[in-house]
Amino acid sequence: MYEILPIAIAITLLTSAFICIRWGNVRCVGKTPVSLVAFSAILFTSGLDVGLIMFPLVEFPIYAAEEDYSFTNPLAIEFGFWGFLVWAFYFLTTFYFCIVEPRVGFFQYRPIQCVNNIIIIATCAFTAYLFLSYAPTYIDGISPFQQYCLVSLIIFMAVCSSTHVRYIKLLSLTSSVLFILLTIVMLSASGASVPAYIDSLANLTGYFENIHYFVSPISDYHGWYLFWWFAWSIMIGQFVARFVSGMKTWQLLIALLVIPSVAIALWFSTLYYYFSNDIPVTGLLRWAMVILGVIFVINSLDSLIRLYTDNLGFDIKKLGLAQYVGGNFLLLGCLVLLYQLTPLKIEWVGLVVIGLYIAIYILLFNNRKKIRNSFMFAKDNSQT
């Protein structure tokens, strides 16, 4: 299964580079353009979930102990799993849904539309299932009944938030501000001096010095991460593309690679200082991380719910508020149980996404004259 990943990643990265070289000055505009601040918040919170908050403290010891990761330090490994290069996946799909899809309409084809919506719903449910699975790691002493109650509450709140785009934007901005505040509070509570924190941050150079290791699976666990990123890429591109506000293609690439990565780097470096100095994260700090993690899950789910309900035409005006909330709640709840009770894996969803990529590449090749004319038109407009 993992053998296909190096090929898929290489094609994705090469395509992203080709787009920037060939159409770097084409302006990308979404259906609902927002400011750069709002766009950054939506991108960051929609493209990430509780794993960003809680995984590093669990994974640092693994990366420090296992031979597969011995080529660099645990902070560089963690950053490589979450930051920079993998966001090129999101650039490719965001560009596609901003510039290409409106002109070719491939996602209006019934088979592609069907597969796309299945991917979105399955990945949305997986996000909730992942929180359910890891809740005992985050929250000491939580019972199975409490786990299910908490996940049910998260799904309910996400469905409610998805009822209007302004709620999604407000929650994205709020969670981004809370994330910055938590990073500052955690850093202050660690007692780290400025030089000590800079030393922790400097470990990130291990990622850039060894970036070539991250274009193929370092381990099966890394492969799981990469399939997870592929599973997210199509739907995040669809959602984020709505809010792009006239950036040139090369600016969009830089924004997607850099904006989330800076925040991730600062947060991971803070947690790495705790790990490397054996400082326990307990009490109020632990609960603050859990609460922010819950908000991140809600923020991830609401954008995906909004996306697949829009795609399917299941909006509030058509269904009514009660049916919209109840129907989505039951759908996601049942799918979470499906992940819990069956061998269903996110790797399978990632494989389906790679298959969808292949189908789109074939369609683009078969319609290359139409695509070329569309790009020439878009390029001419960007220069006028």
Q: What pLDDT sits at residue 8?
A: 93
Supply the pLDDT for residue 91: 93
Between these two residues, 345 and 195, which has the higher pLDDT value? 195
Q: Cα–Cα distance between 43 and 54 in angstroms, integer?
A: 19
Q: Which residue has the higher pLDDT, 300 or 237?
A: 237
pLDDT at 9: 93
Among 38, 4, 24, CA closest to 375: 24
pLDDT digits (tens, 9 = 90+) for 213-234: 998 999 999 999 999 899 889 8
- Other Cβ atoms less than 10 A from the Cβ of 70: the count is 11
pLDDT at 186 over 90: yes
For residue 369, is pLDDT > 80? no
Q: N- to C-terminal Cα distance for the chain?
A: 47
Question: CA 252, 257, 263 angle in degrees (round to 5)?
Answer: 120
Write the pLDDT tens digit of every residue in 311-356: 888 877 778 888 899 998 998 888 888 888 777 788 898 999 999 9
**What confidence score (pLDDT) does residue 370 get?**
66
**What average pLDDT does range 131-156 have in this prediction?**
87
Nearest to 80 by CA among 92, 100, 63, 93: 63
Band the pLDDT of 23: cuts 50, 70, 90: confident
> What letter would DSSP give residue 26?
P
pLDDT tens-digit series, residues 89-120: 899 999 999 988 988 888 888 889 889 888 88
Residue 260 and residue 236: Cα distance in Å, rounded? 14
| 40 within 8 A of 171, measured Cβ to Cβ | no
Domains and CATH numbers, the chain: 25-383 (1.20.1740)
The two structure tokens encoding residue 279: 């400082």
Greatest alpha-carbon pair distance for the chain in Å reads: 62
Q: The whole model's pTM is what?
A: 0.85
pLDDT bin (cut points 50, 70, 90) of residue 384 is: very low
Q: Which residue has the tokens 């990366």?
A: 63
Q: Which whole number is the average pLDDT over 190-212?
A: 94
Quick one: pLDDT at residue 188?
Answer: 93
pLDDT value of position 42: 77
Instruction: Give dist(CA 281, CA 287) in Å, integer.
Output: 9
Whole-number pLDDT of residue 379:
55
Evaluated on CA atoms 32, 37, 38, 43, the torsion sign reads positive
Mean pLDDT of the chain, nearest integer = 87
The yes-or-no verdict on residue 380 having pLDDT over 80 is no
264-279 residues labelled b (16+ CB within 10 A) or e (exposed): bbbbbbbbbbbbbeeb
Dihedral through CA 218, CA 359, CA 115, CA 98, nearest 10? 90
Q: How confident is the model at residue 358 (pLDDT cuts 50, 70, 90)?
A: very high
Say what the pLDDT of residue 52 is.
82
